[in-house]
Structure 1
Amino acid sequence: MTQTRVDVAIVGGAVMGSSIACHLAMDPGFNGSVLVIEKDPSYARCASALSAASIRQQFSTAVNIEISLYGIDFLREIGTRLAVGDDRPAIDLHEGGYLFLATPDRRDLLEANHALQTRLGADIVFLEPDGLQERFPWLNVDDVAAGCWGARGEGWFDGYGLMQAFRKAARARDVPYRAGEVVAAARDGDGFRLTLADGDTVLCDRLVNAAGASGAARLAADLGVDIPVVSKKRMIFTFDCREAVAGCPLLVDPTGTYVRPEGTGFLCGSAPPESDDPETDDFEVDHTFFEEHLWPTIAHRVPAFEAIKPGAAWAGHYDMNLFDHNALLGPVDGVPGFFLCAGFSGHGLQQAPAAGRGIAELIVHERYRTLDLTPLHLARIAENRPVAERNVV
């Protein structure tokens, strides 16, 4: 059995853990040691690899909009920001925009969200039904009151590539990654003691919980911290379409079902009904969900999708924050040196640049210097102060 001591241990080495490690290593004010502990170094089943990987500013809360405005600039400049020597990472960012559609009963909400988004600098276009039909002639707008489309700054990208770019940049700056599962965490003086499945231990002064859907709540519980983060399965289905659907954005139907281009075809998905959305860690795909819900919904909205050829499908997991479906990010009151980076509820990839930088700033400078992320602190749960995000996809 071996014992390792570091200044900062990060549990979870996917996109969040790697973003934090990378930002720490790049901060000129940091001269400590970092260790990233990841239980699955293949990343085959991590959320970063299985996500639909998209970014939008069409949120209803200022903090989420600001995080994504920062994120799109980061993704556009990733080749420079995360270059390792002459190797410049590419993530195939496609700014095709989101298109949120609203029925008459939700038009007021769409208008209010649009006003906030544009005030904060997002390039979002509000479209009446005639404007929607003109811009997207393949779209059925018979039951639609309005739509909002991201003209710039929204779209999709290679999420696995983003994770690996952070990881490679961190490792190039001498951040070691340790394959192993943390099975217990405890206070050790002013710091922490982590016990791994193989019996090895890690001592650290500061601990970051980026353990994701499968481990964040358990790690926090070891330290006496209750976080309402559970694993929720989400399925993604791909298909080819016989007809061309030119200029298709990431379309969000009023039902919450989404569809977007993927290569020469499309992918789609949706949250299941709340009554059929248990906590689970299985990866089984229920194809009847596509046949009975997704396909009829997208074929109603885009008649060309009535004639399609289904393709591959897979399942992954959200680390769902049951309190308000927003990230739990930042320090934990009462446990000095413990930081949360969990509960992103499906927004993790697009929020990883800002979240990673924010946690690194707290560790190095003891305050946020780029974006104020305090609305996402855990303390809001005890204060019953939810981040009321109404644009949840």
Structure 2
Amino acid sequence: MVDVLIAGGAVMGASVAFWLKRLDPALDIEVVEPDPTYATSSTALAASGIRMQFSDPVNVEISRFGVDFIRDFARHTGPAGEVPDLGFKENGYLFLASTDTGAATMESLAAMQRGLGAGTRVLGRGELAEKFPWMQLDDIVAGSLGSRDEGFFDNMGLLYGFRNAARAAGVRFVRDRVVALERDGDRVAAAVLEQGGPRTAQAYVNCIGPRAATLMRTAGLDLPVEPRKRTVFVVDAPQARHPDAPLVIDPSGIWFRPEHGQWLAATVPATDGPCDENDFDPEHALFEDEVWPALYNRAEGFGEAKVVRMWAGHYAFNTLDQNAILGRNPQVPNLYHANGFSGHGLQQAPAVGRGIAEQIVHGDWVTLDLSPLSLQRVLDGRPMTEAAVV
């Protein structure tokens, strides 16, 4: 028997393991991950951004911790992490509003975010035009810009740093898949591995991303999480070279940001819904039908844009409210959740890993109160609304 068994070894599972060893070096921990290359993990296929601009204070606080951790990653993980820097590029995020109501909401949220340490400011159309002269802004009233502590970083560096440091501290990473949880009343009695059979532990942590609900059903439990496919396009636009541009969230529903002289761009499909767990085929038509017209409407420099590459990844989509589901399961108290991030998991991994570890070791949240994101709200049917979902 081990002390803690973590199902899923991408960034969330590795972060939980890292923090558990920081809080209690004596813990015996196993992380079970079927693919050590992480080829189809949400971590590897993420757009790798972090922002303060959320509408709920708990998400802002999670990001506040996360950006400080990312900025000073090597100090936190030490030489054992083997990642000297995450290459944080502080370009910011820019949310554009096309209505006066949207602009007023931005002002209110910016004040809340600044109160929690963010640098958010709301710019009118004229200020936006002066700062971003390459944009077409006739339909825009205002924009909310994270002028600091927002941007892009090395997604795999974050994962490998956590994993390397955890492994150096004695965590075992096992190549296998947790396919079922066996229950004995109100406790998980064992995790069943595809190759290794039953494994027993004092505590179990579900960190398996878009497949989280599938695992829960094996124990007769429900979780409102499903895989949703997102196609990301790498776009070359010779007349639109703006390497210092922020990640822009457009009222049309697309987002785009610079990446090594090119651009990343994506949108939520009009027919968005659950996808097969093994479907990673990009939706090619989305670019011509939805993404390119919106890009060109925002900046004429995208008129000559062409797709040079594309990929599809999966969101672990929380159908209740698109926010994370965290912590101890009140129905099965030796089971813990880090699920349902709906596209925000990478940036939230440092704070969430620490929080889950605190619950396991100390019995409750300690550094940040993450109770608004607990499973209890799901059981009660109380969604925690987050307006700034990308």
TM-score grouping bracket, smaller chain normalisation: over 0.9
The partner residue of 1:60 within 55, 59, 69 is: 55
Deviation track 1:161-215 (CA, whole Å, cap 9, x = no partner) reads 111111111101110011111122112585521111125221001000001102x
Q: Residue 47 of structure 1 aligns to a residue in which SS?
A: coil
The unaligned stretches of length 5 or more in structure 2 are none
Number of residue-to-residue matches in the alignment: 386
Q: Distance in 2 between matches of 1:198 and 1:310?
A: 41
Relative to structure 1, is the Cα distance of residues 184 and 85 closer, same or farther in structure 2, using a 3 angstrom cutoff? closer
CA contact (8 A) 2:48 2:346 kept: yes
Does 2:17 match 1:38?
no
Verify the 8 A CA contact 1:21 1:34 in the aligned structure 2: yes
In structure 1, what is the Cα distance between the partners aligned to 2:126 and 2:69?
A: 35
In 1: Cα distance, 2:379 partner to 2:228 partner: 23
Match of 2:76 in 1: 81
Partners of 1:280 and 1:112 in 2: CA distance: 39
Asked if 1:146 corresponds to 2:150, the answer is: no
Q: What does 1:348-367 correspond to in 2, within 5 Å? A: 348-367=345-364
Query: Which residue pairs with 2:226 in the alignment?
Result: 230
Contact residue 12 and residue 209 of structure 1 kept, 8 A: yes
Q: Which amino acid aligns with 1:219?
A: L
Whether the aligned pair in 1 keeps the contact of 2:48 and 2:154 (CA below 8 Å) is yes
**Deviation for aligned residue 1:111:** 1.9
**Match of residue 381 from structure 1:** 378
The residue aligned with 2:93 is 98
Q: Measure the CA separation in 1 of the matches of 2:188 and 2:139.
A: 58
Q: Helix, strand or coil for the counterpart of 2:43?
A: helix
AA aligned to 2:177 is E
CA distance in 2, matches of 1:45, 1:238: 18
In 2, the alpha carbon distance for the partners of 1:85 and 1:22 equals: 11
Gaps of 5+ in 1: none
Identity of aligned residues (%): 43
The residue aligned with 2:286 is 289
- What is the letter of the counterpart of residue 155 of structure 2? G
Match of 1:317 among 309, 314, 319: 314
Report 1:201-280 matches (<5 A).
201-214=198-211, 216-243=212-239, 244-245=241-242, 247-273=244-270, 275-280=271-276
Tell me whether 300-309 or 125-134 shows the greater mean CA deviation. 300-309
Give the 3-state SS of the residue equivalent to 1:101 in structure 2.
Answer: strand
TM-score normalised by L of structure 2:
0.96
State the distance in 1 between where 2:30 and 2:196 align: 17
Give the CA RMSD over aligned residues.
1.5
Amino acid at match of 1:226: D
Q: 2:12 aligns with which of 10, 16, 19?
A: 16
Structure 2 counterpart of 1:180, one-letter code: D
Q: Is 1:49 aligned to 2:54, yes or no?
A: no
Query: Which of residues 189, 192, 208 is equivalent to 1:195?
Result: 192
In 1, the alpha carbon distance for the partners of 2:180 and 2:7 equals 11
2:333 match: secondary structure: coil
Residue aligning to 2:342 = 345
1:114 aligns with 2:110: yes
TM-score of the two chains, using structure 1 as the length reference: 0.95
